[in-house]
Structure 1
Amino acid sequence: MADLSTISLQPEEIVSFLKKNLQFREVYQKILYQRVINQATAERGITVTPEEIQAEADQLRLEKRLEKASDTLAWLAEQMITPDQWEEGIRDRLLSKKLSESLFAKEVEKSFAQNRISFERVLLYQIVVEDGKVAQELLYQIEEKEISFYEAAKFYDIDENRRQNCGCEGEIDRYQLKPDIVAAVFSGQLGEVVGPLKTEQGYHLLMVEKFIPAELTSQRYQELLDGMFQQWLVAELNYMLHSQAS
Protein backbone atom coordinates (compact mmCIF):
# COMPACT_ATOMS: atom_id res chain seq x y z
CA MET A 1 0.00 0.00 0.00
CA ALA A 2 1.17 3.53 -0.77
CA ASP A 3 2.42 5.72 2.07
CA LEU A 4 -0.69 7.60 3.21
CA SER A 5 1.34 9.90 5.45
CA THR A 6 2.54 11.80 2.38
CA ILE A 7 -0.91 13.41 2.21
CA SER A 8 -1.68 15.71 5.12
CA LEU A 9 -5.08 16.04 6.77
CA GLN A 10 -6.26 18.97 8.84
CA PRO A 11 -7.76 18.29 12.31
CA GLU A 12 -11.04 19.92 11.32
CA GLU A 13 -11.23 17.64 8.27
CA ILE A 14 -10.87 14.57 10.49
CA VAL A 15 -13.50 15.86 12.92
CA SER A 16 -15.88 16.66 10.08
CA PHE A 17 -15.47 13.16 8.63
CA LEU A 18 -16.14 11.49 11.98
CA LYS A 19 -19.26 13.60 12.50
CA LYS A 20 -20.64 12.95 9.03
CA ASN A 21 -20.15 9.21 9.52
CA LEU A 22 -21.69 9.23 13.01
CA GLN A 23 -18.40 8.16 14.62
CA PHE A 24 -17.48 11.39 16.41
CA ARG A 25 -19.44 10.72 19.60
CA GLU A 26 -17.90 7.26 20.02
CA VAL A 27 -14.34 8.55 19.64
CA TYR A 28 -15.05 11.56 21.86
CA GLN A 29 -16.48 9.27 24.53
CA LYS A 30 -13.45 6.98 24.43
CA ILE A 31 -11.16 9.97 24.97
CA LEU A 32 -13.20 11.01 28.00
CA TYR A 33 -13.12 7.45 29.33
CA GLN A 34 -9.33 7.60 29.12
CA ARG A 35 -9.38 10.80 31.16
CA VAL A 36 -11.42 9.01 33.81
CA ILE A 37 -8.96 6.11 33.80
CA ASN A 38 -5.93 8.39 34.04
CA GLN A 39 -7.43 10.30 36.95
CA ALA A 40 -8.51 7.14 38.79
CA THR A 41 -5.15 5.40 38.42
CA ALA A 42 -3.29 8.53 39.54
CA GLU A 43 -5.47 8.78 42.65
CA ARG A 44 -4.88 5.11 43.46
CA GLY A 45 -1.15 5.12 42.69
CA ILE A 46 -1.55 2.58 39.89
CA THR A 47 1.34 2.75 37.44
CA VAL A 48 2.80 0.81 34.53
CA THR A 49 6.54 0.09 34.43
CA PRO A 50 8.75 0.23 31.33
CA GLU A 51 9.32 -3.52 31.77
CA GLU A 52 5.57 -4.19 31.60
CA ILE A 53 5.27 -2.09 28.45
CA GLN A 54 8.21 -3.93 26.91
CA ALA A 55 6.73 -7.32 27.74
CA GLU A 56 3.40 -6.37 26.17
CA ALA A 57 5.13 -4.95 23.10
CA ASP A 58 7.13 -8.18 22.71
CA GLN A 59 3.93 -10.19 22.89
CA LEU A 60 2.27 -8.01 20.25
CA ARG A 61 5.31 -8.33 17.99
CA LEU A 62 5.17 -12.09 18.40
CA GLU A 63 1.48 -12.18 17.48
CA LYS A 64 2.10 -10.06 14.39
CA ARG A 65 5.28 -11.95 13.49
CA LEU A 66 7.43 -8.85 13.62
CA GLU A 67 10.72 -10.66 14.15
CA LYS A 68 13.15 -7.81 13.49
CA ALA A 69 13.24 -4.24 14.76
CA SER A 70 13.03 -3.10 11.15
CA ASP A 71 9.81 -5.13 10.73
CA THR A 72 8.29 -3.38 13.74
CA LEU A 73 9.31 0.07 12.50
CA ALA A 74 7.87 -0.66 9.06
CA TRP A 75 4.60 -1.84 10.61
CA LEU A 76 4.39 1.27 12.81
CA ALA A 77 5.02 3.48 9.79
CA GLU A 78 2.21 1.69 8.01
CA GLN A 79 -0.06 2.41 10.99
CA MET A 80 1.08 6.06 10.82
CA ILE A 81 2.25 6.13 14.45
CA THR A 82 5.62 6.57 16.13
CA PRO A 83 7.22 4.07 18.52
CA ASP A 84 6.50 6.48 21.38
CA GLN A 85 2.82 6.66 20.45
CA TRP A 86 2.66 2.88 20.25
CA GLU A 87 4.13 2.56 23.73
CA GLU A 88 1.71 5.20 25.04
CA GLY A 89 -1.18 3.17 23.66
CA ILE A 90 0.16 0.04 25.37
CA ARG A 91 0.51 2.02 28.59
CA ASP A 92 -3.11 3.18 28.39
CA ARG A 93 -4.38 -0.36 27.83
CA LEU A 94 -2.33 -1.75 30.72
CA LEU A 95 -3.53 1.04 33.02
CA SER A 96 -7.11 0.23 32.09
CA LYS A 97 -6.53 -3.47 32.78
CA LYS A 98 -4.87 -2.83 36.13
CA LEU A 99 -7.60 -0.43 37.21
CA SER A 100 -10.41 -2.80 36.27
CA GLU A 101 -8.77 -5.64 38.19
CA SER A 102 -8.13 -3.40 41.18
CA LEU A 103 -11.77 -2.35 41.29
CA PHE A 104 -13.61 -5.54 40.39
CA ALA A 105 -11.45 -8.69 40.53
CA LYS A 106 -13.07 -9.82 43.79
CA GLU A 107 -16.52 -8.68 42.67
CA VAL A 108 -16.36 -10.93 39.60
CA GLU A 109 -16.04 -14.09 41.70
CA LYS A 110 -18.80 -12.92 44.03
CA SER A 111 -21.14 -12.07 41.17
CA PHE A 112 -20.48 -15.40 39.47
CA ALA A 113 -21.17 -17.32 42.67
CA GLN A 114 -24.41 -15.43 43.29
CA ASN A 115 -25.63 -15.91 39.71
CA ARG A 116 -24.06 -19.29 38.92
CA ILE A 117 -27.29 -20.76 37.57
CA SER A 118 -27.50 -17.99 34.95
CA PHE A 119 -24.20 -19.15 33.47
CA GLU A 120 -25.21 -22.75 32.87
CA ARG A 121 -24.99 -23.56 29.18
CA VAL A 122 -26.37 -26.00 26.67
CA LEU A 123 -25.28 -27.18 23.26
CA LEU A 124 -28.60 -26.44 21.61
CA TYR A 125 -30.27 -27.48 18.38
CA GLN A 126 -33.55 -26.04 17.25
CA ILE A 127 -35.99 -25.92 14.37
CA VAL A 128 -38.20 -22.87 13.86
CA VAL A 129 -41.12 -22.94 11.43
CA GLU A 130 -43.93 -20.47 10.80
CA ASP A 131 -46.87 -22.87 11.11
CA GLY A 132 -47.83 -24.69 14.30
CA LYS A 133 -49.32 -27.64 12.41
CA VAL A 134 -46.07 -28.09 10.49
CA ALA A 135 -44.12 -28.04 13.76
CA GLN A 136 -46.42 -30.66 15.28
CA GLU A 137 -46.15 -32.88 12.22
CA LEU A 138 -42.34 -32.61 12.27
CA LEU A 139 -42.33 -33.57 15.95
CA TYR A 140 -44.43 -36.65 15.17
CA GLN A 141 -42.16 -37.67 12.28
CA ILE A 142 -39.03 -37.23 14.43
CA GLU A 143 -40.53 -39.28 17.27
CA GLU A 144 -41.54 -42.01 14.81
CA LYS A 145 -38.03 -41.90 13.29
CA GLU A 146 -39.42 -41.10 9.86
CA ILE A 147 -36.95 -38.22 9.73
CA SER A 148 -34.09 -37.17 11.99
CA PHE A 149 -34.09 -33.87 13.86
CA TYR A 150 -31.07 -32.77 11.81
CA GLU A 151 -32.74 -33.58 8.50
CA ALA A 152 -35.90 -31.75 9.54
CA ALA A 153 -33.86 -28.68 10.46
CA LYS A 154 -31.97 -28.81 7.18
CA PHE A 155 -35.15 -28.90 5.08
CA TYR A 156 -37.74 -26.93 7.06
CA ASP A 157 -36.14 -24.31 9.33
CA ILE A 158 -36.92 -20.71 8.37
CA ASP A 159 -33.33 -19.59 9.06
CA GLU A 160 -30.75 -20.27 6.35
CA ASN A 161 -27.80 -20.49 8.75
CA ARG A 162 -29.56 -23.06 10.93
CA ARG A 163 -30.54 -25.03 7.84
CA GLN A 164 -26.89 -25.18 6.80
CA ASN A 165 -25.91 -26.25 10.34
CA CYS A 166 -28.75 -28.81 10.65
CA GLY A 167 -30.34 -26.80 13.46
CA CYS A 168 -27.22 -26.22 15.54
CA GLU A 169 -27.29 -22.98 17.54
CA GLY A 170 -24.02 -23.75 19.33
CA GLU A 171 -23.35 -23.30 23.03
CA ILE A 172 -25.96 -20.98 24.57
CA ASP A 173 -26.00 -19.44 28.05
CA ARG A 174 -29.12 -19.85 30.14
CA TYR A 175 -29.52 -16.07 30.46
CA GLN A 176 -29.59 -15.70 26.68
CA LEU A 177 -32.80 -17.71 26.40
CA LYS A 178 -36.31 -16.41 27.03
CA PRO A 179 -38.01 -17.66 30.22
CA ASP A 180 -40.42 -20.08 28.54
CA ILE A 181 -37.62 -21.50 26.39
CA VAL A 182 -35.31 -21.79 29.42
CA ALA A 183 -37.86 -23.79 31.38
CA ALA A 184 -38.37 -26.24 28.53
CA VAL A 185 -34.70 -26.62 27.65
CA PHE A 186 -33.27 -27.09 31.14
CA SER A 187 -36.05 -29.40 32.36
CA GLY A 188 -35.70 -31.76 29.40
CA GLN A 189 -33.45 -34.76 28.86
CA LEU A 190 -30.47 -35.06 26.54
CA GLY A 191 -31.62 -35.82 23.03
CA GLU A 192 -35.29 -35.19 23.89
CA VAL A 193 -37.20 -33.05 21.38
CA VAL A 194 -39.18 -30.36 23.19
CA GLY A 195 -42.01 -28.33 21.72
CA PRO A 196 -43.57 -26.94 19.74
CA LEU A 197 -43.19 -23.66 21.65
CA LYS A 198 -44.57 -20.46 20.14
CA THR A 199 -42.66 -17.16 20.15
CA GLU A 200 -42.72 -14.11 17.91
CA GLN A 201 -40.22 -15.91 15.68
CA GLY A 202 -42.49 -18.88 15.05
CA TYR A 203 -42.90 -22.39 16.42
CA HIS A 204 -39.83 -23.97 18.00
CA LEU A 205 -38.68 -27.56 18.33
CA LEU A 206 -35.67 -27.80 20.64
CA MET A 207 -33.12 -30.47 21.43
CA VAL A 208 -30.20 -30.36 23.87
CA GLU A 209 -27.11 -32.30 22.85
CA LYS A 210 -25.09 -31.36 25.94
CA PHE A 211 -25.61 -29.69 29.32
CA ILE A 212 -22.59 -27.59 30.32
CA PRO A 213 -22.21 -26.73 34.02
CA ALA A 214 -21.40 -23.13 34.95
CA GLU A 215 -17.65 -22.55 35.22
CA LEU A 216 -15.69 -19.38 35.82
CA THR A 217 -13.35 -19.79 32.87
CA SER A 218 -10.79 -17.13 31.98
CA GLN A 219 -13.04 -16.00 29.14
CA ARG A 220 -16.10 -15.77 31.41
CA TYR A 221 -14.02 -13.94 34.05
CA GLN A 222 -12.92 -11.38 31.48
CA GLU A 223 -16.45 -10.89 30.16
CA LEU A 224 -17.77 -10.17 33.65
CA LEU A 225 -14.83 -7.95 34.52
CA ASP A 226 -15.19 -5.94 31.31
CA GLY A 227 -18.93 -5.53 31.90
CA MET A 228 -18.47 -4.25 35.45
CA PHE A 229 -15.67 -1.92 34.39
CA GLN A 230 -17.70 -0.51 31.51
CA GLN A 231 -20.62 0.23 33.84
CA TRP A 232 -18.22 1.95 36.22
CA LEU A 233 -16.75 4.06 33.41
CA VAL A 234 -20.21 5.18 32.31
CA ALA A 235 -21.15 6.14 35.88
CA GLU A 236 -17.86 8.00 36.47
CA LEU A 237 -18.15 9.90 33.20
CA ASN A 238 -21.73 10.89 33.99
CA TYR A 239 -20.59 12.13 37.40
CA MET A 240 -17.82 14.15 35.75
CA LEU A 241 -20.25 15.72 33.29
CA HIS A 242 -22.82 16.57 35.96
CA SER A 243 -20.12 18.06 38.20
CA GLN A 244 -18.94 20.34 35.40
CA ALA A 245 -22.51 21.34 34.51
CA SER A 246 -23.41 22.33 38.09
Structure 2
Amino acid sequence: MNKHLKILMEPEEIVNFLKSEIKLKDICINIASQKIIEKVAQEKGINVTTEEIEIEADRQRREKRLEKASDTVRWLEQEMLAPLDWEVGIRNRLLTQKLALALFAKEVEQFFMQNRLEFEQVILYQFVVKDEKLAQELYYQIEEGEICFYQAARVHDIDENRRYKCGYEGKMYRWAISPEIVALVFNAPQKQLVGPIKTEHGYHLFIVEDYIPAELTPKRYEEILYNMFQYWLNAEVNYMYYNFELSIL
Protein backbone atom coordinates (compact mmCIF):
# COMPACT_ATOMS: atom_id res chain seq x y z
CA MET A 1 0.00 0.00 0.00
CA ASN A 2 1.25 3.49 -0.87
CA LYS A 3 1.59 5.34 2.43
CA HIS A 4 1.74 8.67 0.61
CA LEU A 5 -1.47 8.16 -1.37
CA LYS A 6 -3.37 11.44 -1.57
CA ILE A 7 -7.14 11.67 -1.73
CA LEU A 8 -8.37 14.74 -3.57
CA MET A 9 -11.70 16.27 -2.55
CA GLU A 10 -13.71 18.75 -4.55
CA PRO A 11 -15.75 21.40 -2.69
CA GLU A 12 -18.90 19.97 -4.24
CA GLU A 13 -18.08 16.54 -2.77
CA ILE A 14 -17.77 18.06 0.68
CA VAL A 15 -21.12 19.84 0.34
CA ASN A 16 -22.82 16.68 -0.93
CA PHE A 17 -21.37 14.64 1.94
CA LEU A 18 -22.63 17.17 4.50
CA LYS A 19 -26.05 16.94 2.88
CA SER A 20 -26.04 13.16 3.04
CA GLU A 21 -25.12 13.30 6.75
CA ILE A 22 -27.81 15.95 7.40
CA LYS A 23 -25.15 18.35 8.69
CA LEU A 24 -25.24 21.03 6.01
CA LYS A 25 -27.87 23.14 7.76
CA ASP A 26 -25.75 23.32 10.94
CA ILE A 27 -22.74 24.48 8.92
CA CYS A 28 -24.86 27.12 7.15
CA ILE A 29 -26.19 28.36 10.50
CA ASN A 30 -22.62 28.66 11.83
CA ILE A 31 -21.63 30.67 8.76
CA ALA A 32 -24.71 32.87 9.09
CA SER A 33 -23.85 33.42 12.76
CA GLN A 34 -20.37 34.59 11.83
CA LYS A 35 -21.79 36.98 9.21
CA ILE A 36 -24.11 38.49 11.82
CA ILE A 37 -21.20 38.89 14.25
CA GLU A 38 -19.13 40.59 11.55
CA LYS A 39 -21.96 42.96 10.62
CA VAL A 40 -22.85 44.02 14.16
CA ALA A 41 -19.20 44.32 15.20
CA GLN A 42 -18.53 46.59 12.23
CA GLU A 43 -21.55 48.72 13.12
CA LYS A 44 -20.18 49.14 16.64
CA GLY A 45 -16.63 49.82 15.51
CA ILE A 46 -15.26 46.66 17.09
CA ASN A 47 -12.17 45.06 15.56
CA VAL A 48 -9.33 42.72 16.42
CA THR A 49 -5.72 43.86 16.15
CA THR A 50 -2.77 41.90 14.79
CA GLU A 51 -1.16 42.07 18.23
CA GLU A 52 -4.22 40.48 19.87
CA ILE A 53 -4.14 37.65 17.33
CA GLU A 54 -0.43 37.06 18.01
CA ILE A 55 -0.99 36.99 21.78
CA GLU A 56 -3.78 34.41 21.43
CA ALA A 57 -1.71 32.34 18.96
CA ASP A 58 1.17 32.26 21.47
CA ARG A 59 -1.24 31.18 24.20
CA GLN A 60 -2.52 28.34 22.04
CA ARG A 61 1.04 27.26 21.21
CA ARG A 62 1.86 27.06 24.91
CA GLU A 63 -1.37 25.18 25.62
CA LYS A 64 -0.62 22.66 22.85
CA ARG A 65 3.09 22.55 23.78
CA LEU A 66 4.18 23.66 20.32
CA GLU A 67 7.62 24.82 21.41
CA LYS A 68 9.25 25.16 17.99
CA ALA A 69 8.05 26.79 14.78
CA SER A 70 8.34 23.37 13.13
CA ASP A 71 5.97 21.93 15.75
CA THR A 72 3.38 24.55 14.83
CA VAL A 73 3.80 23.86 11.10
CA ARG A 74 3.38 20.12 11.69
CA TRP A 75 0.27 20.65 13.81
CA LEU A 76 -1.29 22.93 11.16
CA GLU A 77 -0.60 20.33 8.47
CA GLN A 78 -2.23 17.65 10.58
CA GLU A 79 -5.32 19.86 10.96
CA MET A 80 -5.29 20.62 7.20
CA LEU A 81 -4.82 24.33 7.92
CA ALA A 82 -2.68 27.07 6.44
CA PRO A 83 -1.27 29.66 8.88
CA LEU A 84 -3.75 32.21 7.55
CA ASP A 85 -6.68 29.83 8.25
CA TRP A 86 -5.54 29.55 11.85
CA GLU A 87 -5.25 33.32 12.21
CA VAL A 88 -8.73 33.83 10.74
CA GLY A 89 -10.17 31.36 13.25
CA ILE A 90 -8.43 33.15 16.13
CA ARG A 91 -9.62 36.52 14.85
CA ASN A 92 -13.23 35.28 14.59
CA ARG A 93 -13.23 33.94 18.15
CA LEU A 94 -11.71 37.12 19.56
CA LEU A 95 -14.22 39.23 17.65
CA THR A 96 -17.05 37.12 19.08
CA GLN A 97 -15.72 37.62 22.61
CA LYS A 98 -15.41 41.38 22.12
CA LEU A 99 -18.91 41.68 20.70
CA ALA A 100 -20.38 39.64 23.55
CA LEU A 101 -18.75 41.99 26.06
CA ALA A 102 -19.93 45.07 24.18
CA LEU A 103 -23.52 43.82 24.08
CA PHE A 104 -23.99 42.22 27.49
CA ALA A 105 -21.13 42.97 29.91
CA LYS A 106 -23.23 45.52 31.80
CA GLU A 107 -26.17 43.10 32.13
CA VAL A 108 -24.38 40.08 33.60
CA GLU A 109 -24.23 41.32 37.20
CA GLN A 110 -27.85 42.44 37.14
CA PHE A 111 -28.94 39.05 35.78
CA PHE A 112 -26.94 37.28 38.47
CA MET A 113 -28.48 39.36 41.27
CA GLN A 114 -32.02 38.83 39.95
CA ASN A 115 -31.47 35.06 39.72
CA ARG A 116 -29.12 34.60 42.65
CA LEU A 117 -31.04 31.70 44.18
CA GLU A 118 -30.68 29.68 40.98
CA PHE A 119 -26.90 29.81 41.35
CA GLU A 120 -26.81 28.38 44.87
CA GLN A 121 -25.54 24.80 45.07
CA VAL A 122 -25.43 21.92 47.51
CA ILE A 123 -23.16 18.91 47.72
CA LEU A 124 -25.78 16.20 47.93
CA TYR A 125 -25.84 12.53 48.84
CA GLN A 126 -29.10 10.68 48.35
CA PHE A 127 -30.61 7.33 47.56
CA VAL A 128 -34.08 6.36 46.41
CA VAL A 129 -36.04 3.17 47.02
CA LYS A 130 -39.42 2.15 45.66
CA ASP A 131 -40.90 0.67 48.84
CA GLU A 132 -42.10 2.99 51.63
CA LYS A 133 -41.64 0.37 54.36
CA LEU A 134 -38.05 -0.30 53.29
CA ALA A 135 -37.33 3.43 53.19
CA GLN A 136 -38.64 3.85 56.75
CA GLU A 137 -36.68 0.84 58.00
CA LEU A 138 -33.47 2.16 56.45
CA TYR A 139 -34.06 5.55 58.02
CA TYR A 140 -34.28 4.03 61.51
CA GLN A 141 -31.31 1.73 60.90
CA ILE A 142 -29.17 4.68 59.82
CA GLU A 143 -30.32 6.76 62.78
CA GLU A 144 -29.55 3.90 65.20
CA GLY A 145 -26.14 3.31 63.63
CA GLU A 146 -27.00 -0.20 62.47
CA ILE A 147 -25.98 0.71 58.92
CA CYS A 148 -24.31 3.82 57.55
CA PHE A 149 -26.03 6.00 54.97
CA TYR A 150 -23.41 5.32 52.29
CA GLN A 151 -23.65 1.55 52.71
CA ALA A 152 -27.45 1.72 52.46
CA ALA A 153 -27.15 3.75 49.28
CA ARG A 154 -24.59 1.27 47.88
CA VAL A 155 -26.99 -1.64 48.42
CA HIS A 156 -30.50 -0.28 47.99
CA ASP A 157 -30.52 2.73 45.63
CA ILE A 158 -32.61 2.16 42.50
CA ASP A 159 -30.13 4.21 40.46
CA GLU A 160 -27.19 2.05 39.36
CA ASN A 161 -24.76 4.93 38.80
CA ARG A 162 -25.52 6.44 42.19
CA ARG A 163 -25.12 3.03 43.87
CA TYR A 164 -21.54 2.83 42.62
CA LYS A 165 -20.90 6.26 44.18
CA CYS A 166 -22.61 5.38 47.49
CA GLY A 167 -25.32 7.98 46.90
CA TYR A 168 -23.06 10.82 45.82
CA GLU A 169 -24.91 13.21 43.51
CA GLY A 170 -22.24 15.91 43.51
CA LYS A 171 -22.64 19.66 43.30
CA MET A 172 -26.21 20.43 42.31
CA TYR A 173 -28.09 23.60 41.41
CA ARG A 174 -31.71 24.13 42.43
CA TRP A 175 -32.99 23.47 38.91
CA ALA A 176 -31.33 20.03 38.85
CA ILE A 177 -33.17 18.76 41.95
CA SER A 178 -36.69 17.30 41.89
CA PRO A 179 -39.24 20.08 42.50
CA GLU A 180 -40.86 17.99 45.25
CA ILE A 181 -37.72 18.02 47.42
CA VAL A 182 -35.76 21.09 46.34
CA ALA A 183 -37.10 23.30 49.16
CA LEU A 184 -36.32 20.60 51.74
CA VAL A 185 -32.81 20.11 50.36
CA PHE A 186 -31.91 23.80 50.54
CA ASN A 187 -33.35 24.15 54.04
CA ALA A 188 -32.04 20.89 55.50
CA PRO A 189 -29.57 20.99 58.39
CA GLN A 190 -26.09 20.28 57.11
CA LYS A 191 -24.90 16.63 57.39
CA GLN A 192 -28.23 15.48 58.84
CA LEU A 193 -30.32 12.60 57.47
CA VAL A 194 -33.61 13.71 55.92
CA GLY A 195 -36.46 11.54 54.67
CA PRO A 196 -38.03 9.46 53.50
CA ILE A 197 -39.70 11.92 51.10
CA LYS A 198 -42.03 10.58 48.42
CA THR A 199 -41.74 11.74 44.79
CA GLU A 200 -42.70 10.21 41.46
CA HIS A 201 -39.32 8.42 41.51
CA GLY A 202 -39.81 6.72 44.87
CA TYR A 203 -38.82 7.46 48.47
CA HIS A 204 -35.79 9.71 48.94
CA LEU A 205 -33.37 9.77 51.85
CA PHE A 206 -30.65 12.39 51.61
CA ILE A 207 -27.86 14.24 53.35
CA VAL A 208 -26.66 17.71 52.44
CA GLU A 209 -22.90 17.59 52.86
CA ASP A 210 -22.33 21.29 52.27
CA TYR A 211 -23.91 24.47 50.93
CA ILE A 212 -22.16 26.52 48.25
CA PRO A 213 -23.42 30.10 48.23
CA ALA A 214 -23.99 31.89 44.95
CA GLU A 215 -20.93 33.87 43.88
CA LEU A 216 -20.22 35.73 40.66
CA THR A 217 -16.86 34.12 39.94
CA PRO A 218 -14.98 34.87 36.70
CA LYS A 219 -16.03 31.46 35.37
CA ARG A 220 -19.70 32.06 36.17
CA TYR A 221 -19.49 35.55 34.69
CA GLU A 222 -18.24 34.04 31.43
CA GLU A 223 -20.99 31.39 31.47
CA ILE A 224 -23.75 33.97 31.92
CA LEU A 225 -22.21 36.25 29.30
CA TYR A 226 -21.92 33.36 26.84
CA ASN A 227 -25.53 32.26 27.43
CA MET A 228 -26.84 35.81 26.93
CA PHE A 229 -24.84 36.25 23.76
CA GLN A 230 -25.83 32.84 22.40
CA TYR A 231 -29.51 33.51 23.07
CA TRP A 232 -29.26 36.80 21.18
CA LEU A 233 -27.31 35.24 18.30
CA ASN A 234 -29.75 32.34 17.96
CA ALA A 235 -32.63 34.81 17.78
CA GLU A 236 -30.84 36.77 15.06
CA VAL A 237 -30.14 33.62 13.04
CA ASN A 238 -33.71 32.39 13.43
CA TYR A 239 -35.01 35.75 12.20
CA MET A 240 -32.74 35.51 9.17
CA TYR A 241 -33.72 31.89 8.56
CA TYR A 242 -37.47 32.38 8.74
CA ASN A 243 -37.63 35.77 7.04
CA PHE A 244 -34.92 35.60 4.41
CA GLU A 245 -34.06 31.88 4.22
CA LEU A 246 -30.50 30.63 4.32
CA SER A 247 -29.26 29.21 1.04
CA ILE A 248 -26.11 28.23 -0.81
CA LEU A 249 -25.42 30.01 -4.09
Corresponding residue of 2:56: 56
Give secondary structure in 2 for the equivalent of 1:180.
coil
Which moves more between the two structures, 189-198 or 58-67? Answer: 189-198
Is contact 2:180–2:199 with CA below 8 Å preserved after alignment?
A: no
Aligned counterpart, 2:94: 94
* Contact preservation (8 Å) 1:128, 1:205: yes
Partner in structure 2 of residue 35 of structure 1: 35
Q: Give CA deviations for 1:37-66 in whole Å, capped at 9, x if unaligned.
A: 111101111000000000000000001000
Q: How does 1:1-246 map to 2 (within 5 A)?
A: 6-244=6-244
Deviation at 1:125, TM superposition (A): 0.6
Aligned equivalents of 2:116 and 2:21: distance in 1?
41
Aligned partners of 2:186, 2:141: CA distance in 1, in Å?
A: 23
Cα displacement (A) at 1:164: 1.8
More helix by share: 1
SS at match of 2:180: helix
One-letter amino acid of the structure 2 residue matched with residue 21 of structure 1: E
Q: CA deviation at 1:130?
A: 2.5
Code of the residue aligned with 1:176 in structure 2: it is A
Give the TM-score normalised by the residue count of structure 1: 0.93
SS of corresponding position for 1:209: strand
Q: Which amino acid aligns with 2:25?
A: R
- Aligned partners of 1:3 and 1:78 also within 8 Å: no
- Per-residue deviation, residues 81-118 of structure 1 (Å, max 9, x unmatched): 10000000000000000001111111110000111111
Moved more, 231-240 or 107-116: 231-240
SS at match of 1:166: coil
Deviations 1:201-240 (A, max 9, x none): 3322111000111001112111111111111001111233
Task: Say if 1:203 and 1:5 are closer, same or farther in 2 by CA, change over 3 A.
Answer: farther
Amino acid at match of 2:154: K
Question: How has the CA–CA distance of structure 1 residues 202 and 93 changed in structure 2, closer, same or farther, with 3 Å as cutoff?
Answer: same
Task: State the one-letter code of the partner of 1:196.
Answer: P
SS in 2 for 1:190: coil
Kindly state the Cα deviation for residue 13 of structure 1 after the two structures are TM-superposed: 2.5
The 8 Å contact of residues 5 and 80 in structure 1, kept in 2 or not, is answered as no
Q: What SS is found at the alignment partner of 2:211?
A: strand
- 1:4-48 Cα distance to aligned partner (Å, 9 max, x none): 993112223222332333322222211111111111101111000
- Name the aligned partner's letter for residue 229 of structure 2: F
Change in 2 beyond 3 A, CA 1:137/1:5: farther
Gaps of at least 5 residues in structure 2 are none
RMSD value, Cα: 1.9
TM-aligned CA distance change 1:3 to 1:135, over 3 Å: farther
**Cα contact 2:142–2:149 (8 A) shared by 1:** yes
Q: What SS does structure 2 have at the residue aligned with 1:179?
A: coil
C-alpha separation in 2, matches of 1:4 and 1:128: 58
Task: Select between 179-188 and 46-55 the one with higher mean Cα deviation.
Answer: 179-188
Other structure's SS at 2:210 match: strand
1:242, distance to aligned residue in structure 2 (A): 4.4
Structure 2 counterpart SS, 1:46? coil
Aligned residue for 2:145, secondary structure, equals coil
